[in-house]
Amino acid sequence: MNTEEQLPWWSYPKDEQKRRIEDAIDWYLSRPGELSDRHKLLLRDAIGHSYRGLFGMAMQDIFEAGLPESAWAESARVEPAMVDGITREALRRALEALRTSPVQERPVFT
C-alpha cells in the first residue's frame, strides 16, 4: 500500500476531491441496467453537493449509493414522485456540467 492509498479523502485538494466524486458518479452512470430510484436520488444529490463545494456530503451520497436496498428502513423508501424526471441522461448532463464547472473552494450552503 502506498502513501496515497492511506490518505483519507478529505486530505486531498478540493480539485482532486471533485474529480474523484465525478469519477464515482460516472462509474454508476456507466453501469449497464436501470438505475434504482434510490440511485437516481443519491447521484442527483452527489452532483448538487459537489457543485456547491460540499464534498463531504457528496462522498456520503456516493457511499450510501453503494449500500444494498435491504440496508434501508421502510421509512426511508424512495417514492417514484421524488425522482420524477431524473433519468440517466439528465444525470449525465448534470455530471458534464459539473465537470466543466470550476471547483467551489468555499462551500455554498444555500
Within the chain, strands assigned E span none
Structure confidence at residue 5 (pLDDT): 65
User: Does residue 48 belong to any structural domain of this protein?
Assistant: yes
* The three three-digit cell numbers of residue 81, written as one number: 414522485
Could you say which DSSP state residue 23 is in?
Answer: H
Low-confidence ranges of the chain (pLDDT < 50): 1
Q: How far apart are CA 44 and CA 58, in angstroms?
A: 10
Position 110 scores a pLDDT of 67
pTM above 0.85, yes or no: yes
Q: Confirm whether 58 is domain-assigned.
A: yes
**24-46 confidence digits (pLDDT tens):** 999 999 999 999 999 999 999 99
Q: Residue 3's pLDDT is what? A: 55
Residue 32 burial (C-beta neighbours within 10 Å; 0-12, 13-18, 19+): exposed
Domain of residue 17 covers 12-100
Residue 57 maps to a domain: yes
Tally of structural domains, the chain: 1
Q: Is residue 52 classed exposed, middle or buried when 0-12, 13-18 and 19+ CB atoms within 10 A define those classes?
A: middle
Residue 4 lies in a domain: no
